[in-house]
Amino acid sequence: MTALKGNLIFGQSGGPTAVINSSAAGVFEEALKHPDIIGKVYGAAHGIVGILQENFYDIGQEDPEELKLLLGTPSSILGSCRYKLADPAEDDTDYKKILEVFRKYNIRYFFYNGGNDSMDTCDKIAHYLDQQGYECRVIGVPKTIDNDLWGTDHCPGFGSAAKFVATTTMEVFLDSRVYDRGMIIVLEVMGRHAGWLAAATALAQATGYGPDLIYLPERSFDLERMLEDVSAIYAKNNNVMIAVSEGVQTADGRFIPELVSEVAVDAFGHKQLGGAAQVLADYLSSKLKAKNRGIELSLLQRSASHIASGRDIEEAYRVGAESVQAALAGATDVMLAFRRCDGSDYRIETFQMPLSEVANKEKVIPQEWINAAGNGLTAEYIDYALPLIQGEPKQIKVDGLPRFARLRKIQAGRPG
Amino acid sequence: MTALKGNLIFGQSGGPTAVINSSAAGVFEEALKHPDIIGKVYGAAHGIVGILQENFYDIGQEDPEELKLLLGTPSSILGSCRYKLADPAEDDTDYKKILEVFRKYNIRYFFYNGGNDSMDTCDKIAHYLDQQGYECRVIGVPKTIDNDLWGTDHCPGFGSAAKFVATTTMEVFLDSRVYDRGMIIVLEVMGRHAGWLAAATALAQATGYGPDLIYLPERSFDLERMLEDVSAIYAKNNNVMIAVSEGVQTADGRFIPELVSEVAVDAFGHKQLGGAAQVLADYLSSKLKAKNRGIELSLLQRSASHIASGRDIEEAYRVGAESVQAALAGATDVMLAFRRCDGSDYRIETFQMPLSEVANKEKVIPQEWINAAGNGLTAEYIDYALPLIQGEPKQIKVDGLPRFARLRKIQAGRPG
């Protein structure tokens, strides 16, 4: 096979993670090893938006030492976006512009790092370029703390978020038990449709320092039943800690803040507003006459690179580097996915998933990994998740604080 | 001087920290080195409450390896309390009981680890015992993330909380800037009367990844002026991050949630409830028409032992161990405090502060360390705080998660 010569562009999309920049480092470092095939390596500002606006940087001009620091730098170094492309059958304006930009800059390798929506974007672009007879290798690079990408054992970003969530849960558990009086703790964890990350509180539970109850979007939520669960534990222990996924909802689709605000007019004499954690904590307090803390892990859970999983960092880098290798070998319109190897030791291998099979699907926790009462996880979940949080980050620190990568971001396009 | 022979009791009081157990380890390990003088080393359950209830543990029966793990274990291992003793001139019931317990168990060394209130408790007990002619060495061991204890350069617990706050602020800063659209971030940090910990966000600012504006209880808060500050920065950057101390209040004593709820009936058509972070973020959003995140660092900031300051851990241990040495040498009715040595390198020495000088006073940030506009810190604060967050914790991990100390807690009293 003749090598496809041309330039490469890489973009980051969707919510950032602690390790999305590790994948960027993997793509960049591997791509820069092949200057005879890949002439220029570009980084798109704000994902596909940067491509549409011809706003991208020449990564070859970055200091290699700074690229290495990407492994300890959270968030999206290039900027991200939540831009959704139209169906090309209805409106192909963006696609035409992308093709125009790709022709103008001779882009033959397009890598897009993101979640479900981004894989859909990738797939649509790959098909459009193919239809137009423009040869370009399009590769989806997986990432999401939600861990809900279809077809892959797990997603880069999840292990680090899970390690932060489990560690923090253990610490908060200890803190919440110091006084000789009752306390209700409600921890709210990200995850709109899949409970993988809220379930990481079960890793803390397995150590003896975790929540009594865990509620996930995979099971429909019943406020009365939860109150029964909580009351029983509180009566016994004078203490209760619960973890809820932000996406928890009733069978008829009402989320916790909405649900509680309806019943809370009675409880408080006014409507309750706010996130699930505080609303639920206040509600339980009013019922059990106990002090409470509602704790939302907010942006911390996806940006805590100081407690990232060492394994997650390595794997995020690897999937970036291997994406380049796959594209050089001819792959296109695929996402690189992880498969767990057989055997008692944790090992993974990567394989290629057609983007059409990944796009717009969501992987949720198997029902059989959730206990019968719907308020906890089984040992299968622990066995699945525990290997993903192993290893400590080797973050460079200066004066006790992280030294993040500083890119020069030399403009290589013609933004206007 | 003849050595005072007898038993020792140690208690933890007030809000826990990431390193209060390091001080416990310091007291325990040092005390256990002198079995000829200190016969038994007890740990009081829930501070002074445990003493009143004869509820305490025999620390000599603990596994020394577990005591070492206290250096990586956050929160109060013995349990804490917020019990305030009465003025003995008005009601000496508790004091009589304490004396009775001390006589019964031959307690001649009493160590109390806490903040302002605890130093007051210590002082009152020391005076009462002295008046009753009962010889006992009473030592206050400082701790508070608020850093507001009088007379000491800084307080064990502050450095670790400050390191967590600064690191997290840097990470959230990066996360909040990824999209090509406006964003308002409000970070709420603990500190009711003193802004030392909220000011730690200035350490993040000094790295280039921190808040634009910092509001502290040391200056009276003006919502209109803050809106002007925020609007100017938002107009320029399309992004603004602010840090507020939970104790921020107006000149006439109104806190942010109360203040905003008054003006917010206009802004939202309903009263706003919740903590300062979300209330303020919602308010600013309504004014600037931008997305927002209100983030309360909640219990995380005082329990994050995984990112504790290595120096803080060492100093917390040291102040515990040196308290025992001081008591053995005859000191009583004092708190061990830190003094910074002269010279460009950071070094501290400990000295004894009379408890009466410490009790019921609060050390706030010097006005000259706050900028003229009252929305940021000067270089003096950075020079002061930066040495306190140096060094990484050497926390033992098992399967990627912290291994906290597990004490046997052999009952040595007669609770009931």
pLDDT in tens, A182-205: 899 999 999 989 999 999 999 999
- Give the tens place of pLDDT for each residue, A53-86: 999 999 999 999 999 999 999 999 999 998 989 9
Q: Establish, for the pair of chains A and B, how many residue pairs have beta carbons separated by less than 8 Å.
A: 168
Instruction: Give the per-residue pLDDT at B272.
Output: 47
The whole-number average pLDDT for the span A224-246 is 96
Cβ distance of A305 and B399 shorter than 8 Å: no
| SS percent in chain B: helix, strand, coil, step 5 | 40, 20, 40
Residue to substitute from B299, B311, B404, B406, interface A, most A β-carbons within 10 A: B299
- Return the residue in A158, A175, A177 with the most chain B beta carbons within 10 A, the one to mutate for interface testing: A175
ipTM at complex level: 0.97
- Active-site residue, from A92, A120, A123, A146: A146
- Burial track A22-49 (b if 16+ CB lie within 10 A, e otherwise): bbbbbbbbbbbebeebbebbbbbbbbbb
| Interface contact flag, A171 B303, Cβ < 8 Å | yes
Instruction: Check residue A272 and give its pLDDT.
Output: 47
The predicted pLDDT at position A405 comes to 98
From the candidates B120, B146, B148, B282, give the one annotated as an active-site residue: B146
pLDDT higher than 70, residue A267 = no
Q: What is the pLDDT of residue B274?
A: 58
The whole-number pLDDT of residue B42 equals: 98
Residue A274 confidence (pLDDT) above 90: no
Q: In B75-230, which ranges are E strands?
A: 107-114, 137-142, 183-189, 213-215
For residue A13, report the phi and psi dihedrals to the nearest 5 degrees. -135, 155
Asked if A179 lies within 8 A of B82 by C-beta distance, the reply is yes
- Residue B351, judged by CB atoms within 10 A of its CB (0-12, 13-18, 19+), counts as middle
Average pLDDT, chain A: 95
Quote the pLDDT of residue A195. Answer: 97
Q: Kindly list the residues from chain B whose CB atom is less than 8 angstroms away from the CB atom of residue A174.
A: 16, 73-75, 303, 404
Cβ atoms of residues A186 and A293 within 8 Å: yes
Instruction: Report the topology of domain B6-144+308-360+392-402.
Output: Rossmann fold (3.40.50)
**Per-residue model confidence (pLDDT) at position A262:** 72
Distance from CA of B172 to the nearest CA of A (A): 6
CA–CA distance, B252 with B214 (Å, rounded to integer): 20
Q: Is the pLDDT of residue A273 over 60?
A: no
A130 given a catalytic annotation: no
Q: What is the mean pLDDT of residues A298-311?
A: 98
Give chain B positions within 8 Å (CB) of A75.
Answer: 171, 174-175, 177-178
Domain range A6-144+306-361+392-402, its CATH number among 3.40.50.450, 1.10.3720.10, 1.10.760.10, 3.40.50.880:
3.40.50.450
Phi, psi at B342, each rounded to 5°: -65, 160
Domain positions in chain A are: 6-144+306-361+392-402, 158-303
CATH superfamily of A158-303: Phosphofructokinase domain (3.40.50.460)
For residue A411, pLDDT beyond 70 = yes
Query: Per-residue pLDDT for chain B (416 aa), expressed as one digit of tens each?
Result: 679 999 999 999 999 999 999 999 999 999 999 999 999 999 999 999 999 999 999 999 999 999 999 999 999 999 999 898 999 999 999 999 999 999 999 999 999 999 999 999 999 999 999 999 999 999 999 999 999 999 999 999 999 999 999 999 999 999 999 998 889 999 999 998 999 999 999 999 999 999 999 999 999 999 999 999 999 999 999 999 999 999 999 999 988 888 887 765 545 454 444 588 988 998 999 999 999 999 999 999 999 999 999 999 999 999 999 999 999 999 999 999 999 999 989 999 999 999 999 988 999 999 999 999 999 999 999 999 999 999 999 999 999 999 999 999 999 998 87
Tell whether A397 is within 8 A of chain B (Cβ). yes
Contact B204, A104 (CB under 8 A): no
Residue of A nearest to B389 (CA): A400
